[in-house]
A and B are shown apart, each in its own frame.
Chain A
């Protein structure tokens, strides 16, 4: 029996990392929102690795935070080790990564969600998305409840028609033994579906791990919080250790001997797996000449003995997994708590989405996270936030929030997905960002806080703090241009100590600090009128000075890029009217319907000549439709 449950603004399907951000964003923007989940015990669950951040993913979390999302704040509450990766490299690729206490992470997020006004969470399985005249009108659940909703956000992760494989043992379940969603049908809404695959390694009992035989891995002493609203003092705590060990020839032999029992190699798995997250089977086969592979042992939390075995993702039969793990130094007596597995699932082809993450053909239906073909908690959360914001903006009849490729990794992520699609689960990489030097984790607030504030997700006080920080940076850079240093003995001595060439004549501190070997604080003695500045502010100043040349070059490129993004293409354009487009280009353009010349030029199969033709056609349109002759 069906019953009318309620009229709401937004229904969010799924309470994973995408669903949580989406639900919170909508509720905080005053939309009556319900998050539906298979299990209220597993809100913001981390079914794979126990960490948040890492290269490019750390950037995403900082951006989520700058926009007013929750992930950064939550990991600051639940972290047990924190590390800034790539510190020996340039500032653009410094990347923050934290080990999470998984249970705490879930509990903290659950509390936030259950204490947010306008937001409810319900343990019900959504079995149907209701659409009328290409417009979403609500959802139906397994218990017969019908909710009328103005917008629906699919954040179903890897649960739709999922199948878990451990050797010959195949079950139609979701991650971590949870129920899979087998009733809901996206195909019946005309949505094109893909089949992807991913996997996770075993969790082992910490009491059976001999940590004395492994290399300990420590966190940073001087930590950086993920959230711009926290200081390191706010979240300072005792950190746990992780451990490093290696596979060996015996491990590889065990794997090779049992390859025929791996679903990946016996052809049982049809889904496409990610190249960047290969199973240990894959590594041993594809990189046969490598004598050993790294294995990181990472605690899953403080309230559990479970440890994650990073590097050993596998779908081999359980007894083979046990055998191969026990061949590794430090794991000879190891007991499994959870067996590693591969999982296959349905996801949608993301080129069916607009940049606001709304389905092009169904008004009000949004989609975010792994269901869009991405992979990773951070990628999911970023999309969830954007989908949530845009669902709320749509209900208010406002322009959507679109972060472009020059403004954030979020923009790169979404533009890649909706423009190029993806043939495997999509992972963020810093090398995907063409303006990497501008999209640093340290300046995510400079890039995005204003946008978050304008939408209404960043609080007045957080925004004021940001404005103050920005002003301090600008003022100090101007002041440094006027601080002239002569060739005094003090100055020359400082330079000598830092192995820097002595001065021949006077120079501004602004110019001098461009030398890579010199730091702002080296000159405190002769820079006595300096204001009181936080380390974050000094960092910003140093980056701006030292990398000025490169930054300027990227800014010029961004200017070019923006010009093309601003040349808009009408969404109802009939590509048959555009003279002389090549067939492939025409098909791609019709399928994708790019919003701008910039987006069109990034579609594979659309050549510069095709773009020229489009530009000319648009100019013709501009000058008067009547004069356009159809030469198609």
Chain B
């Protein structure tokens, strides 16, 4: 556990436009950002705004940015702080974040900036309650939930790799603590380490192509005009501290809304309500919806409970028949619903009735009905852990190559194990001791 290393997070305020801010805090903040950009930050004054670019490992531009640099102690956390104002949408923002992490920062826990501000004497006692609430919220999101968020296959894979690593470590530890053990255990762990390393790299590559790493379940709200799509979006928004971002470079009239339902991350796409011009709306709406539907994991089809199913709706229903769909009957406050089937969720965006039920169903559909959110490894925190695990294995392999003794090689293996453990929420130490006595016949 560390309390004063350099941390980073996206700190984009809710509901603003295309600019996203990444905040880095800690003694190494300036060095780390400096490694990631084309402007020499080591030479700039404190409390200045600097124009530059964030670069990837190959020095290609990720984004054009403004960098605000503030040196300790006159900062929010009383540590060095660098804030990067990015222009890209969420994808670019995440890339910049990943780059900063690669260069040595750790993704901040919820509320960690504020916590540091408090612990370093920057904010006063009246604000501390808010800090505690944030940490508490995190505590409540239990470990099982966190693991459940992982795609079954993926978490299984990581567990399997972790177990392989544990076996290598245990062999080395046995050979160290029981030098008279009657089998030569150190025989070929070089090959084991190499194989494990390349397996993890494959996993990371899939993540990079976006197959695995995403930010949540893509859900699209569709339906005819005036059935209450925007109202539904707004009500979900109000209740869930969602982040709304305009996607730069696209038409600016689609909205991505990020929010969690009990720990399950969603990205909700909506095209309605942005430009409600009368003329062509129907056609454009359906077309745009169709595009989004194709990419979506989950479709929320909103209908007017007071009307019969229109021909247009029948078309839509036909076009989404291969998708996971939640059918929603809106406007139940106006009278008896015109029920399509028992599975329909009945809501009123005016009274709020049925919204909780809808959220529950959205969550359950994801958790139980097999919508794969491999996405959650997605989450930057887990990707970072994977990157770190690979780095440690690389170091171990390099050490093997120059014939370092086992007890030094194992230092990197331990680290790698710890990083993998962070993805699925398990820690080492006792595991290793247990493995030792479980698998090997040891003793006097």
Given known pairs A56-B177, A431-B176, the reply for A287 and B1 (CB within 8 Å) is no
Residues of A within 8 A of B177 (CB): 55-56, 429-431
A615 to chain B, nearest CB (A): 6
B197 to chain A, nearest CB (A): 19
Tell me whether A95 and B179 are in contact (CB under 8 A).
yes
Report the separation of the CA atoms of residues A560 and B2 in the bound assembly, to the nearest whole angstrom. 7
Q: Name the residue of chain B whose CB is nearest to the CB of A279.
A: B443
Residues of A within 8 A of B139 (CB): 580, 582, 607, 609-610
Q: Name the residue of chain A whose CB is nearest to the CB of B399.
A: A550
A310 interface neighbour in B1, B118, B176, B444, Cβ under 8 Å: B444
Q: Name the residue of chain B whose CB is nearest to the CB of A280.
A: B443
A533 to chain B, nearest CB (A): 23
- The interface bits of chain A over 56-81 (1 if a CB of B lies within 8 angstroms of the residue's CB, else 0) are 10000000000000000000000000
Tell me whether A611 and B433 are in contact (CB under 8 A).
no
Residues of A within 8 A of B182 (CB): 294
B186 to chain A, nearest CB (A): 9
Given known pairs A431-B436, A560-B2, A613-B135, the reply for A276 and B411 (CB within 8 Å) is no
Residues of B within 8 A of A293 (CB): 441
Residues of B within 8 A of A631 (CB): 129, 132
The yes or no answer to A496 lying at the interface (CB within 8 A) is: no
- A 513-562 contacts with B by CB, 8 A: 516, 547, 550, 553-554, 560
Report the separation of the CA atoms of residues A518 and B109 in the bound assembly, to the nearest whole angstrom. 46
- The interface bits of chain B over 104-143 (1 if a CB of A lies within 8 angstroms of the residue's CB, else 0) are 0000010000010011000001001101100110110000
Binds A, one of B263-271, B361-369, B401-409: B401-409
The yes or no answer to B432 lying at the interface (CB within 8 A) is: yes
Residues of A within 8 A of B441 (CB): 278, 283, 286-287, 290, 293
Number of residues in B with C-beta < 8 Å to the partner? 41
B404 interface neighbour in A90, A93, A274, A582, Cβ under 8 Å: A90
A616 interface neighbour in B132, B138, B173, B406, Cβ under 8 Å: B132
A-B pairs under 8 A by CB, number: 127
Tell me whether B1 and A92 are in contact (CB under 8 A).
no
- A 86-124 contacts with B by CB, 8 A: 86, 88-93, 95
Tell me whether A86 and B179 are in contact (CB under 8 A).
yes
The yes or no answer to B340 lying at the interface (CB within 8 A) is: no
The yes or no answer to A488 lying at the interface (CB within 8 A) is: no
Tell me whether A89 and B138 are in contact (CB under 8 A).
no
The yes or no answer to B180 lying at the interface (CB within 8 A) is: yes
- B 275-294 contacts with A by CB, 8 A: none
Report the separation of the CA atoms of residues A85 and B132 in the bound assembly, to the nearest whole angstrom. 51
- The interface bits of chain A over 419-440 (1 if a CB of B lies within 8 angstroms of the residue's CB, else 0) are 0000000000111100011000
The yes or no answer to B4 lying at the interface (CB within 8 A) is: yes
The yes or no answer to A144 lying at the interface (CB within 8 A) is: no
Report the separation of the CA atoms of residues A429 and B138 in the bound assembly, to the nearest whole angstrom. 36
Report the separation of the CA atoms of residues A56 and B436 in the bound assembly, to the nearest whole angstrom. 16
Report the separation of the CA atoms of residues A429 and B433 in the bound assembly, to the nearest whole angstrom. 9
B443 interface neighbour in A276, A432, A564, A608, Cβ under 8 Å: A276
Choose among B3, B131, B180, B443 the residue with the greatest number of A CB atoms under 10 Å from its CB.
B443
A247 to chain B, nearest CB (A): 11
The yes or no answer to A301 lying at the interface (CB within 8 A) is: no
Tell me whether B173 and A431 are in contact (CB under 8 A).
yes
A600 to chain B, nearest CB (A): 10
20 contacts between A and B (CB under 8 A): A85-B180, A89-B406, A89-B407, A91-B405, A275-B437, A276-B437, A276-B442, A277-B443, A311-B444, A430-B176, A432-B433, A437-B408, A516-B402, A579-B132, A579-B136, A580-B135, A609-B136, A616-B115, A616-B128, A631-B132
Given contacts A88-B405, A623-B125, A627-B125, 13 further A-B contacts (CB under 8 A): A49-B444, A89-B405, A90-B405, A274-B443, A276-B436, A283-B443, A431-B173, A431-B177, A550-B411, A564-B3, A607-B139, A615-B115, A615-B119
What 3 pairs across the A-B complex have the smallest Cβ distances? Answer: A90-B405, A275-B437, A287-B441
